[in-house]
Amino acid sequence: MKSDPRDMDVIHELRAYLTKPHVRPWALAAPILVLLFCLPLLRPIRHPDPSQISDDELARLATVQSLVEHNSLSIDHSIFVPTHGTVRVGDKLYAEQTPTLAILLAGPYWLIHRFGFTFSHNANAIEFFLTLLGVTIPVSIAAGLIYRMGRLFELPRWKRSALAIIVAFASGLVSYAVVLNAHAPAAALVIASAACLAHVASSRRPAVTGGWLAICGLCAGLAATIEPAAGIFTILLIAVIPAMRWRPSLRAAGVLMYLLGLAPPLLLHAVLTVPITGDMRPISFHREFYSRVDAKVTAAPDDDEDTSRFAFMTDGLARISQGTLGEHGVISHFPILLLGILGISAVMHRHWPATTKILAGATATAAVVILVAYCLATKVGAGSMFAARYFVVFIPLLIFWSGAWLRRSHHPVTWTLAGLLLIFSTTVSLVGATNPFPREGYDTYSATQALNDLVNPAPAPQPTILAGAGAPNP
């Protein structure tokens, strides 16, 4: 009896699959390093004192608890009481944050709540679990995606792994991977969106891989609804799809797939926000709901119109300069960004695919828009937390483009200067991870203040003993 050749093919394929390597050490290096570094520094472990939790984290935890235990976004009955970052709409108190991240975290909390673990009795353990699941693991996955995206630059594996480690540890991403916040997961989702586009653009079977564009839209939509600063990426990334080398019908289908993926996060945001605010804008964009009375701004006289315009422009330029090189500036903390800018310049001036050029241009455009918008709309100062937290959304992806600079040969002096920039940026990022969200924020150069707080920690509060009372029992 003769054996069927098809059976032999199956056996050979199975043998080839079992004998080839399934674990890629270079691909796993950056994600594992992120987890090993961040796990001991998670805020519930390093700073478990409830009085030291920032208002931003308190408000998010309060929303998660209210969703699960009271079926409401109102935080009036939560055990977490933030002193800032809340707004009263009618007779109910809400966190001014967008509610999408709280909804995503409410699912895991609902599950463990069913087993009897609640914030009232297991607050620190639940905070650790939610921080790990909602922030640290997404940052770790983003580091792995950077490794895969490094194929755009045709780098060897060890250089792609080095690029992933640089992006994670020299961008402030690990600084915010140890505390519950919206900036780090939004940055991870932006990286995931870019990775989906890079994967589809390099594929030779667009009809098969086109479904990744729906995942791209989903990630971009989640990033925008978690952190509004990421909304500019949601708009700009769609421009990459028409530049792909597909026939027109496939490009139109690709845009449609992106929009289909984008729809669920936007619909979820609308369902959660519209009943409270009346429109799609987050609560923080509705100044009329705030209980505080803002000072009225009177119009300047006509003869002083030129003076007022000049003062406005001067103040705007000063704010942008402060956000770039000031106490909470992006370059003053992470000068490695300069190599990312040089990488984008190299992509634009050489024969790269159109999709790569548009993706690089979208990164640069989003960085400028977010930088200018937040510098003009917010006052950087006390309570700004570590480094440039509002800019963490674009910093990792901007540094990623340094891979285009990394693939070229340079003078030893240039490599030395680049190494110094990398060492400084990494040191600042690691120092920031020790406490990126202190209760009172940072009111001076945040890296210096964070290092000083690390070297000279404040003494632990002592229990108050009333006059005439004896010493507390041990």
pLDDT of residue 307: 63
Residues 381, 384, 386, CA angle at the centre, nearest 5°? Answer: 120
Task: State how far the alpha carbon of 455 is from the alpha carbons of 308, 434, 438, 452, 463, in Å.
Answer: 45, 11, 15, 5, 24
pLDDT digits (tens, 9 = 90+) for 426-463: 999 999 999 999 988 888 888 888 888 888 876 655 54
- The mean pLDDT value for 346-371 works out to 92
| pLDDT bucket at 337, cuts 50 / 70 / 90 | very high
pLDDT of residue 296: 39
Q: How far is CA 155 from the centre of its chain?
A: 26
Instruction: Judge whether residue 298 has pLDDT over 50.
Output: no
- The mean pLDDT value for 275-292 works out to 74
| pLDDT bucket at 379, cuts 50 / 70 / 90 | low
pLDDT of residue 230: 94
- The mean pLDDT value for 105-133 works out to 94
| pLDDT bucket at 464, cuts 50 / 70 / 90 | very low
Instruction: Judge whether residue 72 has pLDDT over 80.
Output: yes
- The mean pLDDT value for 150-162 works out to 92
For the chain, percent of residues with pLDDT exceeding 90: 59
| pLDDT bucket at 221, cuts 50 / 70 / 90 | very high
- The mean pLDDT value for 349-364 works out to 91
pLDDT of residue 432: 94
Across the chain, mean pLDDT equals 86
For the chain, percent of residues with pLDDT exceeding 70: 85
